């Protein structure tokens, strides 16, 4: 047994499925997905084979940023149902061996949270220090820190004449983690949810909680890891829960600080280095350039070995903030099925915990818009207004939104080809993608060659082959540029993963015997690997013959 296997956790062998509740399944016809709708679809998720659901926020919220602005952590948003529904979901999921991972948003609250309502009433209020308040300078903000959603991160609040910090929307004031009372209140809230039987937390922008705004330090502040260690001790540390931090600024060295088991912080982090590879260097996510496969290989080849036994990788292409991967880096027209399967095989054969975003397993695509009026997402709207003012052509702005806008991930789940894709009997809060007649769950389940069954098989393979969970990673260097190939080695066995990451034929040759095909997105035989021509987006995994590597 390896060192790691003696310290196993359920989440190291798990596959997590992210549900964006607003868009998953509406049970009451109001056009908004809800908890009862998720319960109705648990058997579908059980069939897929996942171990846990990461549930995007369902707490009470005015919904300025789709639930990431929380006004009460211990109540459920009315549109989603009641706490009784939440308890029922946790229980119904447990009956199917599925754990619920709650989205923990504790960098900020809503400005409608009782803590902030109190905080802004006077400088002497006992909740004043729950948030970050500063005096202005010469009628201006305390400094030039900017919000992620554009504009100043400081908002003047007239009643007391001071500014509060908001690294996101003006309606999302930042909590002051330097205040021990804030931390205690948060740990109490986390324990409230742990006592309900949840399986862990996904931690929204957790790398910002150690901020020192006066020094313009936002991510990875000097006390960040002290706070996380304290959180671990006061809440989940003695329980086998999955904890994953959203950490946009993480390097492998920083990721090991979070996820080294000896440090008692988190299970793993989401790192985003691969996510920016189709952006112009030094610019924003809206400034597009083509993905270079060599750069993607470099990023994965860095993160896979460097975390080693000291940390743990999370693996993902999609989430509620990112466009659909088959539209982004695959081919969502001619080769939609092939490229979606290739992307699945490439990711799920890596070491780490894979995350599937709802609809990814059926190859859902971006929804193209023609007009800003079709956009719901606050980030896209703010960018549009900002760039129109700066003189950008509208056509270019809409191209960026169609490529990278968050609404792409948030269109309703496509269940069948009835009205509104079976998502709602009412008017959906966000338009359904027009292609739901061809792309939907019912169609996917009926077709044994569908993308769904590739995901199902990948999940089964992870459960039954320790090599996928524990094996080492080795990039195969000598390939065509657009061929991403790598080995997984474990206890003398080696698997080879080969992916043609392009819509062109590619050549591939390897003088090693193939013993068995594990999974592929073609009907081809893979006994001989010499001088092969790979079809567009062809992907396969084979067990190599003989004892090859320790």
Is 78 within 8 Å of 60 (Cβ atoms)? yes
Which of 204, 377, 379, 538 does the annotation list as catalytic? 204
Written in H, E and C, the secondary structure of 280-333 is CCCCCCCCECCCCHHHHHHHHHHHHHHHCCCCCEEECCCCCCCCCHHHHCCCCC
Tokens 């599925």, residue located: 98
Q: What is the CA radius of gyration of the chain?
A: 24
- Could you give the angle at which helices 336-348 and 451-464 cross, rounded to 10 degrees? 10
Selection from 353, 355, 399, 405 nearest residue 379 by Cα:
405
SS3 content of the chain, % helix, strand, coil (to 5): 35, 20, 45
Residue 352 to residue 361: CA distance in whole angstroms: 18
Residue 38 to residue 307: CA distance in whole angstroms: 35
Residue 51: DSSP 8-state: S
DSSP assignment string, 426-476: S--SSPPPGGGGTS-HHHHHH-TTSHHHHHHHHHHHHHH-HHHHH-EEEE-
- The question of whether 162 is a catalytic residue gets the answer no
What DSSP element (H or E) covers 270?
A: strand 268-270
Residue 516 to residue 519: CA distance in whole angstroms: 9
Phi and psi torsions of 225, nearest 5°: -75, -25
Q: Give the pair of three-digit tokens for residue 349.
A: 């054969």
Which of 246, 278, 332, 379 does the annotation list as catalytic? 246
- Could you give the angle at which helices 394-404 and 378-389 cross, rounded to 10 degrees? 160
SS3 16: strand
Selection from 60, 84, 85 nearest residue 70 by Cα:
60
- The question of whether 246 is a catalytic residue gets the answer yes
Residue 60 to residue 79: CA distance in whole angstroms: 9
Is 220 within 8 Å of 209 (Cβ atoms)? no
- Could you give the angle at which helices 224-234 and 180-194 cross, rounded to 10 degrees? 40
SS3 501: coil
Is 211 within 8 Å of 221 (Cβ atoms)? yes
Residue 217 to residue 132: CA distance in whole angstroms: 13
Is 102 within 8 Å of 198 (Cβ atoms)? yes
Where in the sequence numbering do the catalytic residues fall? Answer: 204, 246
């Amino acid at each position: 047994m390896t060192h790691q296997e003696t310290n196993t956790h359920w989440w190291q062998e798990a596959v997590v499925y992210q549900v964006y509740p607003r868009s998953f399944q509406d049970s009451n016809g109001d056009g908004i997905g809800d908890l009862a709708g998720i319960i109705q679809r648990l058997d579908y998720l059980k069939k897929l084979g996942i171990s846990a659901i990461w549930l995007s926020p369902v707490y009470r919220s005015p919904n300025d940023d789709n639930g990431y602005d929380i006004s009460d952590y211990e109540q459920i948003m009315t549109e989603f149902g009641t706490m009784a529904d939440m308890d029922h979901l946790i229980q119904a999921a447990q009956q199917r061996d599925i754990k619920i991972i709650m989205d923990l948003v504790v960098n900020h609250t809503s400005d409608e949270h009782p803590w902030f309502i109190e905080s802004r009433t006077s400088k002497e209020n006992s909740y004043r220090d729950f948030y970050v308040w500063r005096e202005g300078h010469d009628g201006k903000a305390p400094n030039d820190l900017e919000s992620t959603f554009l504009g100043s991160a400081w908002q003047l609040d007239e009643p007391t004449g001071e500014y509060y910090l908001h690294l996101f929307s003006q309606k999302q004031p930042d909590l002051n983690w330097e205040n021990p009372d804030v931390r205690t209140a948060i740990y109490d809230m986390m324990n409230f949810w742990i006592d309900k039987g949840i399986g862990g937390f996904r931690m929204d922008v957790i790398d910002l909680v150690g901020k020192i705004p006066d020094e313009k330090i936002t991510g990875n502040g000097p006390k960040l890891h002290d706070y996380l260690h304290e959180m671990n001790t006061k809440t989940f540390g003695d329980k086998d829960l999955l904890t994953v931090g959203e950490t946009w600024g993480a390097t492998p060295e920083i990721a090991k600080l979070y996820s080294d088991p000896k440090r008692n912080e988190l299970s793993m982090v989401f790192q985003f280095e691969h996510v920016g590879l189709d952006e112009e260097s030094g610019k924003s996510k809206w400034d597009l350039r083509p993905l270079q496969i060599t750069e993607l290989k470099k990023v994965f080849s860095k993160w896979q070995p460097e975390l080693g036994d000291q940390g743990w990788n999370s693996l993902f292409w999609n989430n509620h903030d990112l466009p659909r991967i088959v539209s982004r880096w695959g081919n969502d027209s001619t080769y939609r099925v092939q490229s979606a399967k290739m992307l699945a095989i490439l990711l799920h054969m890596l070491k780490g915990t894979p995350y599937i975003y709802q609809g990814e397993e059926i190859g859902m695509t971006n929804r193209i818009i023609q007009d800003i009026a079709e956009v719901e997402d606050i980030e896209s709207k703010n960018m549009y207004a900002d760039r129109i003012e700066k003189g950008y052509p509208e056509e270019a702005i809409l191209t960026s939104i169609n490529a990278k806008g968050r609404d792409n991930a948030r269109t309703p789940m496509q269940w069948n080809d009835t009205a509104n894709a079976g998502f709602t009997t009412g008017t959906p809060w966000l338009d359904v993608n027009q292609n739901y007649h061809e792309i939907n769950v019912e169609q996917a389940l009926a077709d044994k060659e569908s993308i769904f069954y590739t995901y199902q098989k990948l999940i089964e393979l992870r459960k039954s082959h320790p090599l996928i969970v524990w094996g080492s990673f080795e990039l195969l260097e000598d390939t065509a540029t657009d061929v991403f190939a790598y080995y997984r080695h474990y206890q003398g066995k080696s698997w080879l993963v080969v992916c043609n990451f392009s819509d062109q034929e590619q050549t591939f040759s390897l003088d090693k015997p193939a013993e068995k095909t594990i999974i592929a997105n073609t009907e081809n035989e893979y006994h001989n690997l010499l001088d092969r021509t790979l079809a567009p987006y062809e992907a396969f995994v084979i067990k190599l013959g003989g004892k090859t590597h320790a």
